[in-house]
Chain A
């Protein structure tokens, strides 16, 4: 029982003393011993069986450092214009992927939230769909879309779109569940239909969370869009893997820096836009 819970609790239990504290500490150590033993065992097993030690870590880091300095630097600034097209393609993929995610996730969120769903079973189903989508990494989805649509931005866009449903569907439903029921009741008492309740009672309260999470997903899409090309999804990732396959490491470094700049610019831009648009 917590020391500071309620007056009756304090009366029933003796005042905490140093002896109590010692006893509590010992109990805590005993309870956590198993967990720590398991964690320690897992780390020892993984380090020992993979043969990856501190030495490998520092060797790997120093080898990478010397590789970058000798083979990949300086970046080829003159080839930046060649990669502006793929950069834009990555942005297009992120935007269209986001629209796909939102269009699928909003119904899932509304039907998944317990307070706006049409039936408990529907709510459970909607949440399960989001759960499954969340467990599938975008890159795995891309592999299948590339098999169907071939190499190119279309496969990447669809994978980003579906990949976003897992997270957006879940957080939309969570956000809708947290809204104030009294306002919905108020709108309902005017005789509003289900759609009118959604528009006038739910949306105004849901909008801030919607904007925040959608923006977050857009930023994730830009990062994801940059790497999805590595498995054939188009965009900068595709240029990167082409450059690496041709041993053009300075070009590869240029692309990596452009990905970095793009991610940073998009983050700053969405933040500035958000301050304006809300």
Chain B
């Protein structure tokens, strides 16, 4: 396509100094980014030779992977159930911890303004540390097993839920609350008739979304020893039973996809439920 000249550009020569400067900054930034990619590839030692060297190993793993197998159905189903337990209990306690903390963190309901900032900072810190690192901290403290996994998910959920709950609370429309106050409603009336109805939908939607995330996490927490199906996966891989590892991966797939379907259904249900409808 033919380049059209703008007023800033006569005969392909840019004349507007600001546009020129922006273009130069752009090129420098993209050049630096490209240079960093090349540097990274070298630093990681990624060479074609690494791939050709890995070929025999890859075909060995591939041959042992097919067909996917279930070695010990009983142990596997126990592990699946344990994963679901970790996800559900972790989410439930995450919600339980988050609601009071969100009441402190929301600007418009906090009992003390500096506390709101401190709580938001705390939530940001909790979010910035990945869930698996939390799992590790709890494994060091309470030992291997599902308890560490549940604690990790409960705490990690708190980081996200406090933030989104507080944001939902901060966006409460003041109209209905003022109307309730004008009609002489008590504090508990205002909480249940004014505040609760306007946040409950968002709270449920976010909590369901978090359950979705937590089921994903609960399938991999076991990789570091925090209970659930991930442990079976690491064990199969360390025994070079790649067919079993692939079978477990398929089970994880099904678990994740089923949760996604359930959470989508629940969220649609919440959305359907919003409008006040008059049935004919």
Tell me which residues from 76 to 122 in chain A have a Cβ below 8 Å from any Cβ of chain B.
Answer: 88-89, 91-93, 95-96, 99
* Neighbour of A227 across the interface among B132, B240, B266, CB < 8 A: B132
A175 at the interface (CB under 8 A from B): no
Q: What separation, in Å, do the CA atoms of A136 and B89 have in the docked complex? A: 23
Does B249 contact A67, Cβ atoms closer than 8 Å?
A: no
Flag A235-249 by CB within 8 Å of B: 1 or 0 each.
000001100100001
Q: A50-B146, A52-B147, A93-B44 are in contact. Are A24 and B277 (CB under 8 A)?
A: yes
Q: Give, as a whole number of angstroms, the nearest-CB distance from A81 to chain B.
A: 17
Q: A46-B92, A92-B40, A154-B45 are in contact. Are A1 and B136 (CB under 8 A)?
A: no
Q: Which residues of chain A are near B75, meaning CB under 8 Å?
A: none
Stretch of B7-15, B137-145, B168-176 at the chain-chain interface: B137-145
Does A226 contact B136, Cβ atoms closer than 8 Å?
A: no
Q: Which residues of chain B are near A93, meaning CB under 8 Å?
A: 40, 44
Interface residue count for A (Cβ, 8 Å)?
A: 80
Does B245 contact A144, Cβ atoms closer than 8 Å?
A: yes
Q: What separation, in Å, do the CA atoms of A137 and B249 have in the docked complex? A: 9
Q: What separation, in Å, do the CA atoms of A99 and B46 have in the docked complex? A: 13
B196 at the interface (CB under 8 A from A): no
Does A273 contact B125, Cβ atoms closer than 8 Å?
A: no
Q: A50-B146, A139-B230 are in contact. Are A230 and B224 (CB under 8 A)?
A: yes
* Neighbour of B280 across the interface among A13, A68, A71, CB < 8 A: A13
* Nearest neighbor of A4 in chain B, beta-carbon distance: B275
Q: Which residues of chain B are near A224, meaning CB under 8 Å?
A: 130
B257 at the interface (CB under 8 A from A): yes
Q: Which residues of chain B are near A179, meaning CB under 8 Å?
A: none
Does A27 contact B43, Cβ atoms closer than 8 Å?
A: no
Interface residue count for B (Cβ, 8 Å)?
A: 73
Does B133 contact A256, Cβ atoms closer than 8 Å?
A: yes
B72 at the interface (CB under 8 A from A): no
Stretch of B98-106, B182-190, B215-223 at the chain-chain interface: B215-223
Binding site secondary structure of chain B: helix
Does B128 contact A57, Cβ atoms closer than 8 Å?
A: no
Q: Give, as a whole number of angstroms, the nearest-CB distance from A242 to chain B.
A: 12
Q: Which residues of chain A are near B191, meaning CB under 8 Å?
A: none
Does A56 contact B133, Cβ atoms closer than 8 Å?
A: no
Flag B240-262 by CB within 8 Å of A: 1 or 0 each.
10100100010011001100100
A254 at the interface (CB under 8 A from B): no
* Neighbour of B245 across the interface among A57, A143, A277, CB < 8 A: A143
Tell me which residues from 129 to 186 in chain A have a Cβ below 8 Å from any Cβ of chain B.
Answer: 132, 135-137, 139-140, 143-144, 146-150, 153-154, 157
Tell me which residues from 34 to 86 in chain B have a Cβ below 8 Å from any Cβ of chain A.
Answer: 36-37, 39-41, 43-46, 50, 54, 57-58, 61, 82, 84-86
Flag A189-230 by CB within 8 Å of B: 1 or 0 each.
000100010001000000000000000000000011011001
Does B237 contact A143, Cβ atoms closer than 8 Å?
A: yes
Q: Give, as a whole number of angstroms, the nearest-CB distance from A102 to chain B.
A: 11
Tell me which residues from 227 to 273 in chain A have a Cβ below 8 Å from any Cβ of chain B.
Answer: 227, 230-231, 240-241, 244, 249, 252, 256, 259-260, 263-264, 273
* Neighbour of B269 across the interface among A35, A148, A226, CB < 8 A: A35
Does B89 contact A276, Cβ atoms closer than 8 Å?
A: no
A49 at the interface (CB under 8 A from B): yes
Does B279 contact A27, Cβ atoms closer than 8 Å?
A: yes
Q: What separation, in Å, do the CA atoms of A137 and B39 have in the docked complex? A: 27
Does A264 contact B128, Cβ atoms closer than 8 Å?
A: yes
Q: Give, as a whole number of angstroms, the nearest-CB distance from B26 to chain A.
A: 7
Does B136 contact A60, Cβ atoms closer than 8 Å?
A: no
* Nearest neighbor of A93 in chain B, beta-carbon distance: B44
Q: What separation, in Å, do the CA atoms of A62 and B40 have in the docked complex? A: 42
* Nearest neighbor of A143 in chain B, beta-carbon distance: B237
Q: What separation, in Å, do the CA atoms of A91 and B41 have in the docked complex? A: 11
Q: Given contacts A147-B245, A153-B45, could you give 19 more A-B pairs where the C-beta distance is less than 8 Å?
A: A1-B278, A2-B275, A16-B278, A24-B278, A46-B89, A52-B89, A93-B40, A95-B40, A136-B253, A144-B237, A149-B54, A154-B50, A157-B46, A200-B1, A226-B133, A231-B224, A231-B234, A240-B136, A260-B129
Binding site for A on B (CB under 8 A): 1, 25-26, 29-30, 36-37, 39-41, 43-46, 50, 54, 57-58, 61, 82, 84-86, 88-89, 92-93, 125, 128-130, 132-133, 136-138, 140-142, 146-148, 150-151, 154-155, 216, 219-220, 223-224, 230, 233-234, 237, 240, 242, 245, 249, 252-253, 256-257, 260, 266, 269, 273, 275-280
List the 6 shortest-distance A-B pairs measured between CB atoms, nearest first: A92-B40, A64-B141, A46-B88, A67-B141, A227-B132, A50-B85
Between-chain CB contacts (< 8 Å), 11 pairs: A35-B269, A50-B86, A56-B147, A57-B93, A64-B137, A67-B140, A96-B37, A135-B252, A136-B252, A147-B57, A230-B132
